[in-house]
Amino acid sequence: MLVALVGVVGTLVVPYDVVETLFRKFGWIGRAADFLDTVAPGLETSHLLSFGALGFLARFSWPRARPHKVAIAIVAVAALIELVQLWVPGREAAISHALLEALGGLAGFGIAWVLTYAWGSGSLPEDYQASTHWSGENSDR
C-alpha cells in the first residue's frame, strides 16, 4: 500500500516535465494515458483511476480500520495533493481534480469493501453461502 501511495502522490505532486520524461522513457505509460483520453475526452480519468486503485488497496492494507476513517483519509489526501500542487511548477490545482480523486478513492474503497463483505465468513444468508454439497433435484439427499 505504501508503494501505491508513494506512486500516486509522487506522480501528482512532481513537476509535469518529470511526468513527461517518464512518459517518454516508458512508452506504455504514455499510450495508456492516451487511451484513457480517447475513452473519456475531457474527463481527467487518470485522477479517478489512480485514486480508485489507491482506495481499493486501502481496504486490504487496513482491514480492521473503520470505513469512515479510511474514507476521511482518502478525501484528505486528495485535498492535500491539490493544495500542494499550488506551489509545484508546471502543475495546476483544481477543485474538480480533488473531487475526481476523492470520488475515485471512495469508489475503489467501496468496491473492495463490498467484495470483502460478500466473501466474508458468515456475512451472507445461509442460502447464499458456498456449499460443497449439492441438494438439487437429482441429488441423493
- Angle 101-70-58 from CA coordinates, rounded to 5°: 75
Q: What number is the average pLDDT over the span 64-82?
A: 90
Domain for residue 104, yes or no? yes
**pLDDT for the residue 132:** 56
Q: What DSSP element (H or E) covers 81?
A: helix 67-84
**pLDDT for the residue 76:** 94
Q: What number is the average pLDDT over the span 55-79?
A: 89
Domain for residue 42, yes or no? yes
Q: What number is the average pLDDT over the span 5-30?
A: 72
Q: What number is the average pLDDT over the span 43-63?
A: 84
**pLDDT for the residue 139:** 54
Domain for residue 9, yes or no? yes
Domain for residue 106, yes or no? yes
**pLDDT for the residue 136:** 59
Residue 131 has pLDDT above 60, yes or no: no
The closest of 84, 92, 110 to 9, measured between CA atoms, is 84
Q: Residue 99 sits in which domain range?
A: 2-119
Domain for residue 140, yes or no? no
Domain for residue 70, yes or no? yes
Domain for residue 136, yes or no? no
Domain for residue 92, yes or no? yes
**pLDDT for the residue 125:** 55
- Per-residue pLDDT reduced to its tens digit, 74-119: 999 999 988 988 888 887 888 988 999 999 999 999 998 888 877 7
Rounded to an integer, what is the distance from CA 82 to the centroid of its chain? 17
Q: Report the domain count for the chain.
A: 1
**pLDDT for the residue 135:** 59
